[in-house]
Amino acid sequence: MTMSITVEAGAKGAQPIDVPAGLRNVVAAETEVGNVLGLEGIYHYRQYDATELARRCDLETVWFLLDRGRLPSGPERDAFAAELAAARRLPDALLEPLTVIARAGGPLLSQLRTALSLAGAQLGVRPLLDLDPDERRGDLLALAALTPTLVGALHRLGRGEAPVEARDDLGHAAHYLWSALGRELPAAEGRAVEQYLIATIDHGFNASTFTGRVVASTGADAAAVLVAALAALSGPLHGGAPSRALEALEEIGAPERAADWVDAQLAAGGKIMGFGHAVYAAPDPRSALLGEIADRLGGELVGRAKGIEAALLAALAARRPGVALPTNVEFYAGVVMQRCGLPPELFTPTFAVSRVIGWAVHAVEQAASGKIIRPTARYVGPWPLEPVPA
């Protein structure tokens, strides 16, 4: 299946060209934020391997890199951490509406969309078109930094618990866990979640990042950009897989049941969540990293996941020979988060806490280009040849 887009933005009379459905392998923009090399099994943030950054750095350092294009000095890192700490404090005026949103119920990611819109209004964000580069960065960074606090507050309010007081003595990842769980995790578990957050900040022109850039290209405000990207992330084919992969693990139960489970899923036309990726032919490096983290954490769930992973890979190889279906990031994401005490309803919101950083950086870059993203479509319906009835 093919579709058509116009490759010369704004060029009147430009002829459309056929491209693959889903815009697969179509270059839609230029970016300096990051890149995914699917054949090699590598992805990077600016000039550094992303998984090595997750192994060696804290979240503040990597966020600074993406924001400024270079790694910070010690004092720069500390100043940036202080900037994030100030931005993540929950404005008093948001507490009452957040309580109403939480009481209304629904998925936490849906609640977060509404909360981000309100936060944008509270912070007075203006259209990116009307701002200079520093102002754009400031608005987007402020909302990105506030997002984990909003997630934590909504989660706690939905459980009938009050939001916790902000703490400046915690790093950004640890503060998110404090906001959501009301407690500090043991060092190994807190670091595991931080590494997950670092590893998922950016990953090419995925659906949510591209959606955010489309909205940023219109000159809309920071809240509109992030809410739109968040809406794309809410789709089960994009951000909802960690909990579904964990559900599959529980359903399979033991490695010896994996082959029959795969057969049943394939016969029903179902997807094998946690395996295969739109970009990677080589193993997903994020999965390798999270597998290492899971090994470090240990425990019954991790041991069972390792056995089931091997059995699933063998079953998929036998039933889909020649088709690359490596373990992807979602398989071990759910395992690591559950092992660290995060409930399933926080899995995709935790992904959003990470990815919002990437969306913000991409939005700054897209807004600077000054071009609106405006593809076209091939019309395949009936032509207007009949007269309109009187």
Active-site residues, by number, are 277, 330
Helix (H, G, I), strand (E, B) or coil at 27: coil
CB atoms within 10 A of CB 320: 15
Residue 370 contacts residue 75 (beta carbons within 8 Å): no
**Cβ of 68: how many Cβ atoms within 10 Å?**
14
For residue 238, give the nearest of 212, 220, 217 by alpha carbon: 212
Q: How far apart are the first and last CA of the chain?
A: 39
Nearest to 330 by CA among 222, 261, 240: 240
- Are 147 and 116 spatial neighbours (Cβ–Cβ below 8 Å)? yes
Q: What is the maximum span of the chain, computed from C-alpha positions, in angstroms?
A: 75
**Spatial distance between the Cα atoms of 372 and 217, rounded to a whole number of angstroms:** 5
